[in-house]
Amino acid sequence: MMRAFTKVLLGGLLLAVQVSAGDALLSNLPGTGSGTGSNLGLNPDGADRTKAVGLTMGGTAMPFVDLVALISNTDPGSELSGGIFSDVGGNPGVELAPFAPVAVGPNTPVGEVSITTAAPFTLEANTSYWFVLDGPTTTQSLLWETLTPNTAPVASAAATFDGYRFSSNGGTTWGASGLFNGVQINVPEPAAALLLGLGVVMLRRR
């Protein structure tokens, strides 16, 4: 995993501690792209396709770090978007936190793309969420790739995997999907979360 230096203020002492950038809450990465998967956004056939992966948190709330998706693009250029949605009857419901759009360059080969929320967002304990990925409203071929072999994500002990949902009408209606797109959902590693929490507590006391 990538490493980052986190500065924590404890009782007036500034500490620089090396911690991991994130810990996987749900993942089937790394893996090999299959060359197929789920188109995102408006497609040449006129369908507006959207895909979502779901999970239910355990008894601990955790800050969301990012979602890493296995993406390819055969068009001149595209944009990956979406957000974190509530669960309504086993489907994405209300958008709780939009993702900051990410540009996907022209003729991009399959690779991992990180997308995060436009503002900090906490995944609450004992709550179900859908992480929705979408594309532009202009005709293009942005693809959220599956793996070879088609491999379901594995959840950590802190969450439960709830499957994938797929829409071909821009999220108006949803259906189940057995295509396991390449994905990893990250939260802070325990050491980083503890250090940051201690820093916040000390700052509040001061």
Give the tens place of pLDDT for each residue, 33-69: 999 999 999 887 889 999 999 999 999 999 999 999 9
Give the tens place of pLDDT for each residue, 58-108: 999 999 999 999 999 987 778 999 999 999 999 999 999 999 999 998 888
pLDDT interval class at 189 (50, 70, 90): confident
**CATH 1.20.1410, applies to 23-187:** no
Q: Where are the beta strands (DSSP E) in the chain?
A: 3-10, 13-20, 23-27, 33-42, 48-57, 62-63, 66-73, 78-88, 91-98, 102-104, 108-115, 122-123, 128-134, 142-147, 154-155, 159-167, 175-177, 183-187
